Amino acid sequence: MKSVQPFRKRPVPDFNRLLRVLRGQEQSRRAHAIELVIDAEILQTLQERYLQKKWIPLTAETQREYYTQIEELYRLLGYDAFVEGVWRTSWVNHPALGSPQALDTAGPLSRGVREWAREGSGLIDSWKSFESFPWERIHVDYRPYELLAQILKPGMAIYASSSFFEHVLENLLGYEGLFYALADDPALVEAVFTRWGEKVLNYYQNVVGLEAVGAIWHADDLGYKTGTILSPHDLQKYVFPWLKKFADVAHEHGKLFLLHSCGDLFSNGVIEILIKEVGIDALHSFQDVILPVGKCMERFSNRIAILGGVDVDALVRMAEEELRRHIRGILEKCSPGRFALGSGNTIANYIPVESYLVMQDELRLWNEENGLTS
């Protein structure tokens, strides 16, 4: 692999500039880097290998030190903002469903075991369990936002992030539980979505006005390779009205609503509903077998921003030179424009660190070759 130093020659963070680029208000002076999540195993490896600093795990006693290292890593890697260090929201007093476990085969960065979503019923399977669920006791731990507001260096911001549909699907009703209830007890389905939607909305209302929060980056996987998990009709009934409420909260505070969603949102017209009715400002998560990011730019970048784009499968499987050509092709099709480069999903611990560094290096080279280094 070519010599790559991930913390060398990185641009100064400027979230306000990224914001203008994503809104189409400014021609991008450089291609920006963006990432929803970088797994802790990747961040730890980068910190220990290249900064020669010991990794500080997150505990109740190390929160400030932990978030300080997270901010430094993202800043030195060339990002303008990041999700607040813990994947999604920390919900206090939320009952645990428990997850099936299997061996984590992620190679040298394996965490030992990997958890999977249950496919059966969730925490709520009847009106009785709905009524006994501790809705009022569940709340958000806002301490990370308080700490990061003190820690962030100039130019950096954080994204507020949570899930709504995916949480109902995987935890509250469960996959099979949701599908059966849609037919057997739609009133229960609506009640669960309403109560959880109120929780997520309240969380966004409480954080979106903070100066440190640059945007809402909502994460809900609505689909799979060939379609959406629910029909467009059911999505419009149970899910999209709440996504619109979340988007409205962001827009009321002059901030963007970015949507991460895996799956095919294009073949059944869901993307049009998300743009026209929900009001998303940007779309993230791309698989080449669904719609390559370059084609998405051609079709939608005059209406929304496009984020990420480097298929995780490419990051995992491609050899260095092939991967460099692939990433360069994405940059040629998408930049400059309402675009920021990153993975098509997340930098999971099974992605080789070297492949992540190749992506970052190609971004650096692209900016240097085009005189876009500031």
Burial class of residue 241 (count of CB atoms within 10 Å of its CB; 0-12, 13-18, 19+): middle
Q: Which two tokens stand for residue 9?
A: 């020659």
What is the C-alpha separation between 166 and 222, in angstroms, rounded? 8
Taking a C-beta distance cutoff of 8 angstroms, is the pair 243, 259 a contact?
yes
Q: How far is CA 324 from CA 32, 291, 313, 319, 364, in A?
A: 17, 20, 14, 9, 12
Rounded mean pLDDT for each run of 10 residues along the chain, 374 residues in total: 68 92 87 94 95 92 94 95 71 86 86 82 96 97 91 96 95 96 98 98 96 96 96 97 98 98 95 98 96 96 96 97 97 94 96 95 91 64
What is the C-alpha separation between 187 and 27, in angstroms, rounded? 48
What is the C-alpha separation between 90 and 88, in angstroms, rounded? 7
pLDDT value of residue 186? 98
- Helix axis angle, 240-252 to 186-207, nearest 10°: 10
SS3 160: strand
pLDDT value of residue 374? 55
pLDDT value of residue 30? 83
Q: Which two tokens stand for residue 81?
A: 């903002």
What is the C-alpha separation between 294 and 337, in angstroms, rounded? 11
User: What domains can you pick out in the chain, each with its CATH number?
Assistant: 15-364 (3.20.20.210)
What are the residues whose beta carbons fall under 8 Å from the beta carbon of 269, sequence distance 6 or more? Answer: 232
